[in-house]
Structure 1
Amino acid sequence: MELKLSLKELVGGGYYDYWHDKHFYRVVKGSRASKKSKTTALNFIYRIMKYPWANLLVIRRFSNTNRQSTYEDLVWAISRFHVEHLFKLNPSLPEIIYKPTGQRIIFRGLDKPLKLTSITVSKGYLAWVWIEEAYEIESEDKLETLSESIRGRIDEPDAFKQITVTFNPWNEHHWLKRTFFDEKTRKADTFAITTTFRCNEWLDDGDRKRYLDLYKTNPRRAKVSCDGDWGVSEGLVFEDNVHMEDFDIMQKITECGQTSFGLDYGFGNDPTAFVAVAIDEEHKKLWIYDEMYAHHQTTPQTAEWIINHGYQNAHILADSANPERTQQLVDIGIINADSVQKTRVEAGIDQLWQYQIYVHPHCKNIWNEFNNYVFDTDKIGNTLNVPKDENNHAIDALRYAMRPFMQNYDNAVSVKWNEQYRIGEQMGVNY
């Protein structure tokens, strides 16, 4: 089926080369509101209708995040083309089928990597992969697994295989930078671009003004959010002792023998953050395995999340600035919630520096904070020895969770924690 369209009318400028590119790796790093996901969705719907031999595999780090992101974007693109009658939508899987040829758009997650290499299609070839929010993928090895899913020759005259990678700017130490953007180390057969909100003609004046104002209020953040530059690296509070690792949660809890839980209350634009961590005190290692990160959440809603995730009997060390909210948790049924004995932020950070910290891939919010939590600067840009009070809500929750392991902590609380919440008592918790 030949479809005539104007790219400018559909998505505006900034993506002409990307739209037509046929390199094996097609990569776009985009700032906020840069249209990268919407443009990619339009492009794949157009391609499915144009190339009857092609099927698409859409990947997120966790399969359950596809339904509210990539699937919805592709359904939107179908509507944008006014071709709803040509597609069969199955949101429960999810899956999309192009009815004239039987071509499929398949959605999967990297949480089940072995199943990716065995995907087969009955019509045509599995020719394309779209990796959305690729910064969530912790290693380049996972990319190689996806390459294997589209192995083999395609016997069509105009055929091409391609892996499309889309993501927001991330820390410059992330594997995406060296793999696709650094001249000396980038993969062969790669097309990579950076796009920004400036190529999004559909933003209204208010949206555009908010982005431009960021250059005045937070120029460091503007370089990432507005210019699509790589995330903050200079002045990071945590640099060498934080790692992302896909570990077996129950195995690690069993090996460590003890867990702890912290809660930082949010208000207004600040999120409420909960962190669960397994502590290997002998080897000075922390394994962060669960988190909650929610904006505009009431205390009863926080309690509901804690109960639904099996932490209602855990000893949760909460922000002492809001003792009334902790008491409300207790009244609701979180009977072991306590207000933590606070120390200076610097003391808590010094304590965390003494550990190697491993973050499970699904704890992306605290991982994001670790990669954006920086020391403050003075008016002329000199770095101070005080962390900036931003990007630290989950980190604060972690500091509270680690308070029992700080010297001179109240012995009664520490004994209570160790006796009641060692691993033998935790096996009834849903991890």
Structure 2
Amino acid sequence: MDIEKEINPRFEDYIFNWDYKYYFLVGGYGSSKSYNTAFKIILKLLEEKRTALVVREVYDTIRDSCYSLLEEIIIDMELDDTIKCKTSPMQIKFPNGSKIIFKGMDKPAKLKSINNVSLIWIEECSEVKYAGFKELIGRLRHPKLKLHMILTTNPVSKGNWCYKHFFINKKKKRFILDDQDLYKQKTIVTKDTYYHHSTADDNYFLPQSYIDELDDIKTYDEDLHRIARKGEFGTNGLKVLPQFQKAPHHEVLSAIQAIKKPIYRVGMDFGFEKSFNAIVRMAIDDENKILYIYWQYYKNHMTDDKTAIEISEFKRTQELIRADCAEPKTIQYYNQEGFNMVGADKPTRLENTKKVKRFRKIICSEDCKDVIDELEDLTYATDKNDEIIEDEFSIDPHTFSAIWYGLDGYEVSDLKEHKYDDSVYKKGSGIKKESVPYKKAKVF
């Protein structure tokens, strides 16, 4: 049985290469590294009977990312009649006995039941803790089959464990590979690790408008441009939100009124002693990716009954307040008092921070003085080696948490892995259509 599929030339060698134990893929947004990794794994499991484990830091993020990507490719290859994708439990089964299972590092106990895993894919490996990575190495074992681990990521700071483990760790005087050499050569092999670098330029399926959008990032966030467009590691600037700016209240309201289809959100973070009850009203310009903050409430040493009185206007407006799900009793109290409040899902601090950073602009009313005080000069915390800690800050910004909760369920167009669009395939683009033979195809 032969299957024809168009592939980007940049990934041709990677897709069919299984000579090494580790495959480390780093690159910018839209480079198709995750897509081609999913394709690579499907081909391998069709060829050999294996159990593959797909991992992300948070299990709940897998279904809309890795799982849906694998399912999309299987359907595109017209193999969905033989390869079965199941969601409960989340699993993909192949006709030759191969299977793909999915786990989150936020539920480490469930890793203990895994046996005979010979292939692991860690998606967004920079978000997985180093201890989790080492735990997964121990789970990679099989009595007969060759072992492989694939790690895919967008570049983050050089303080992240994946840079220190696979490139340079100055503190431990450990030198594996100069990342600048990888950006120049694109593919490098050192001992048992295959390194691969890619950018949006390597993905012939991307429309020019997407490239232009990536280029535009440089106008408002140079650090994000380095990550998203150039696909390079670096030391992030100290400011968490370099695109944050303040404006007179009337100008913010006028700008919101000019939005064609504004999305209004309210978020609340609970506090009492040292922390604060923080509420923010926001409006989103989804087309231009601008977040407006135009109202705040910020107080501590307030019991719930007193706070309920001070924010009673929300009972009249019945605006939906998305709040910290870690306080179910508090949320229940407010609902009993007539408020419209729900608990927001709780992705990691790093994921929430990345989401907010994707806005081109964050414009805050000058009336929201506590928001400005916390966010205008919010900086990353650093460790004793002056390396940035990507999910910790110089202060505990309660208004930032309120924004996270308020944005629950909304996604700023994540310019990351872009789905293939065969309609943009053009003759002479360099895309190759490969025939992949399967000797075991008869079992279909």
Instruction: Tell me, in whole angstroms, the C-alpha distance in 2 between the residues paired with 1:225 and 1:257.
Output: 37
Q: Is the 8 A contact 1:264 1:397 kept in 2?
A: no
2:133 alignment partner in structure 1: 143
Where relative contact order (Cα < 8 A, 6+ residues apart) is larger, the structure is 2
1:364 alignment partner in structure 2: 350
Measure how far apart 1:182 and its partner are: 2.5
Task: State percent identity of aligned pairs.
Answer: 20
Instruction: Tell me, in whole angstroms, the C-alpha distance in 1 between the residues paired with 2:40 and 2:22.
Output: 15
Measure how far apart 1:26 and its partner are: 0.8
Instruction: Tell me, in whole angstroms, the C-alpha distance in 2 between the residues paired with 1:263 and 1:223.
Output: 31
Counterpart of 1:30, as a letter, is: G
Q: Does 1:42 align with 2:32?
A: no
- In the alignment, which of 81, 90, 95 is matched to residue 85 of structure 1? 81
Q: Is the 8 A contact 1:59 1:108 kept in 2?
A: yes
2:143 alignment partner in structure 1: 154
Instruction: Tell me, in whole angstroms, the C-alpha distance in 1 between the residues paired with 2:375 and 2:321.
Output: 32
Counterpart of 1:398, as a letter, is: P
Instruction: Tell me, in whole angstroms, the C-alpha distance in 2 between the residues paired with 1:129 and 1:12.
Output: 23
Q: Does 1:398 align with 2:397?
A: yes
Instruction: Tell me, in whole angstroms, the C-alpha distance in 1 between the residues paired with 2:231 and 2:42.
Output: 26
Question: Secondary structure of 1:126's partner?
Answer: coil
Q: Does 1:208 align with 2:211?
A: yes
1:111 alignment partner in structure 2: 106
Root-mean-square deviation over aligned CA pairs? 4.6
1:62 alignment partner in structure 2: 58
- TM alignment of 1:186-205, pairs within 5 A: 186=176, 189-205=192-208
Q: Identify if the C-alpha distance between structure 1 residues 26 and 260 changes in structure 2 by more than 3 Å, giving closer, same or farther.
A: farther
2:311 alignment partner in structure 1: none
Q: Identify if the C-alpha distance between structure 1 residues 18 and 401 changes in structure 2 by more than 3 Å, giving closer, same or farther.
A: closer
Instruction: Tell me, in whole angstroms, the C-alpha distance in 2 between the residues paired with 1:161 and 1:22.
Output: 10
Q: Does 1:229 align with 2:232?
A: yes
Q: Identify if the C-alpha distance between structure 1 residues 30 and 77 changes in structure 2 by more than 3 Å, giving closer, same or farther.
A: same
Q: Is the 8 A contact 1:263 1:397 kept in 2?
A: no
Q: Which has the higher strand share?
A: 2
- In the alignment, which of 120, 141, 145 is matched to residue 129 of structure 1? 120
Q: Identify if the C-alpha distance between structure 1 residues 219 and 236 changes in structure 2 by more than 3 Å, giving closer, same or farther.
A: closer
2:339 alignment partner in structure 1: 333
Q: Identify if the C-alpha distance between structure 1 residues 119 and 220 changes in structure 2 by more than 3 Å, giving closer, same or farther.
A: closer
1:16 alignment partner in structure 2: 12
Instruction: Tell me, in whole angstroms, the C-alpha distance in 2 between the residues paired with 1:271 and 1:332.
Output: 28
TM score, norm. by length of structure 1:
0.58
Measure how far apart 1:260 and its partner are: 4.8
Counterpart of 1:141, as a letter, is: A
Counterpart of 1:32, as a letter, is: Y
Question: Secondary structure of 1:32's partner?
Answer: coil
Q: Identify if the C-alpha distance between structure 1 residues 237 and 215 changes in structure 2 by more than 3 Å, giving closer, same or farther.
A: closer
- Quick check: 30-39 or 261-270, which moved more? 261-270
Q: Is the 8 A contact 2:56 2:62 kept in 1?
A: yes
Measure how far apart 1:233 and its partner are: 2.2
- Quick check: 12-21 or 167-176, which moved more? 12-21
Count of residue correspondences: 303
Q: Does 1:177 align with 2:134?
A: no
| Unaligned 5+ runs, structure 2 | 178-190, 242-269, 294-299, 301-315, 360-373, 381-391, 402-444
Deviations 1:381-411 (A, max 9, x none): xxxxx9878999x989925489xxxxxxxxx
Deviations 1:299-334 (A, max 9, x none): 98972533977354799xxxxxxxxxxxxx9x9716
Counterpart of 1:91, as a letter, is: T
Instruction: Tell me, in whole angstroms, the C-alpha distance in 2 between the residues paired with 1:233 and 1:81.
Output: 40
